Amino acid sequence: MLATKPASSKRGCVRLAAEYMKTTLRSGLVAAILIVASFGTTPQRIAASPSSPSSNLLGAWKLKSVGGKAPSTINIESWQIEFRERGKWTYSGAMTGAYEGMNVSGSGTWLLEGSELDYTAGANKGETTVHVDGGSLTLSPDPVVRLHGKEAVETRYVRPVSP
């Protein structure tokens, strides 16, 4: 007569194997979710996260000076930039003097690493040094504003005053 294991022992092994499979599948599913979620993290999102130093950069800024002088010295009536979350930014302004009535606007992308800002502005791209001190922002050189339309220049911006 052959010795056989009782049926309840076989059921216990089957249950144990099923629990092992569930645990393994859950662990694999969690790992897959974490891997897929990490693909969604882009440098722009990191740059714009609230805990990042770039959070001081976010928001609207109004041009205060160009090369230490009033913007009107280079025919700028008004100029504003806005750094948005997810690495987007916009710029817009109105001209005066010989360019009276001309409005300029555009958009691009940005990524801040330390004090260096990599940007695109329309079809142009480059790098500028950023310094934020309270309500003041210095861009050296400015990504868009140029002296005589060509020469790179340092600009200073302030937060716009709400009416």
Domain with residue 151: its CATH number is 2.40.128.280
In this predicted structure, the answer to whether residue 33 has a pLDDT above a threshold of 60 is no
115 in the same domain as 77: yes
| Strands (DSSP E) found in the chain | 59-66, 76-84, 88-95, 103-113, 116-121, 124-133, 136-140, 146-147, 151-152, 155-158
- The tally of domains found in the chain comes to 2
The DSSP letter of residue 49 is S
126 in the same domain as 52: yes
- Type of residue numbered 74: I
The SS3 call for residue 26 is helix
For the chain, state the CA radius of gyration. Answer: 29
Which region among 4-13, 43-52, 119-128 has the lowest average model confidence (pLDDT)? 43-52
94 in the same domain as 35: no
Angle at 139 between CA 138 and CA 140, to 5 degrees: 115
The residues, any chain, with a CB within 8 Å of residue 58's CB and separated by 6 or more, are 48, 83, 84, 85
Domain membership flag for residue 163: no
153 in the same domain as 94: yes
Chain-wide mean pLDDT for the chain? 79
In whole angstroms, what is the distance from residue 94 CA to residue 117 CA?
Answer: 25
Q: Average pLDDT for residues 53-74, to the nearest whole number?
A: 93
In this predicted structure, the answer to whether residue 105 has a pLDDT above a threshold of 50 is yes
62 in the same domain as 12: no
The residues, any chain, with a CB within 8 Å of residue 73's CB and separated by 6 or more, are 66
105 in the same domain as 80: yes
Q: How confident is the model at residue 104, as a pLDDT?
A: 95
84 in the same domain as 25: no
Kindly indicate the confidence band of residue 51, based on its pLDDT and cuts at 50, 70 and 90: very low
Cα distances (Å, whole numbers) of residue 116 to 11, 55, 126, 131? 65, 14, 10, 9
Q: Average pLDDT for residues 58-72, to the nearest whole number?
A: 97
Tokens of 156: 């200073």
88 in the same domain as 32: no
In whole angstroms, what is the distance from residue 51 CA to residue 103 CA?
Answer: 35
90 in the same domain as 56: yes
What residue numbers bound the domain in which 99 lies?
47-158
91 in the same domain as 11: no
Domain membership flag for residue 109: yes
Q: Average pLDDT for residues 103-118, to the nearest whole number?
A: 96
Domain membership flag for residue 113: yes
